[in-house]
Amino acid sequence: MPHFGLIDEEKLGPIQGPLMRSRLHIRGGRRRIISGDIANGILALYDALTSAMDFYLASHQELRDRLIGAGEDMLSDRNLFLAFQKNGIIPENLEWQELDFAVQLALGRNMGNYNWRKLAGKLEECYVWLEAAPFDEGELPAPQPEPFLPGKTA
């Protein structure tokens, strides 16, 4: 977990906590991918997306009220992602099935010939739309060494 031990999300609160978690996972995911650990990088970037959605929802009361009023299930990553797309908050060029497929491959450590670069680019665009990026990495807590090295998965 790129954020483990670096922040206290509860202390940061319901808006800044998910935002900081998202940014730390963006940084961690990028670093893992650059080092060749593609599977863990994709998983970190996925966590960055879900945290960015949590941040966006917490910081936009009118959207939260609208989704609740429409009966949207905001506890499911999939349903929240689709509700955000329906409301023009996440670009339509990333499909949930594509994201879920990549996450399943990463969980199985079987990235094989999967075009993760295309997915990573789409996720980066989502972070901007969700107001979690761009950001100054110098404002984030310094990264800690990884507690374990699960092996590279290209």
CATH code at 40? 1.20.120
What are the tens digits of pLDDT across the range 75-88? 899 999 999 999 99
Would you tell me how many other CB atoms lie within 10 Å of the CB of residue 9?
16
Domain membership of residue 145 (yes or no) is no
Number of folded domains that form the chain: 1
Q: What is the pTM of this model?
A: 0.86
pLDDT of residue 7: 67
- What is residue 144's three-state secondary structure? coil
The domain in which residue 82 lies consists of 9-134
Residue 6, pLDDT above cutoff 70 = no
Which pair of tokens denotes residue 34? 């650059």
d(CA 33, CA 12): 28
Q: What is the rounded average pLDDT of the residues 85-98?
A: 94
Per the listing, tokens 């900081």 go with 20
Per the listing, tokens 């107001």 go with 131
By the 10 Å C-beta count (0-12 exposed, 13-18 middle, 19+ buried), 33 is classed as buried
Domain membership of residue 143 (yes or no) is no
Domain membership of residue 68 (yes or no) is yes
Domain membership of residue 120 (yes or no) is yes
Domain membership of residue 139 (yes or no) is no
Helix H segments across 35-71? 38-59, 61-69
Domain membership of residue 149 (yes or no) is no
Domain membership of residue 151 (yes or no) is no
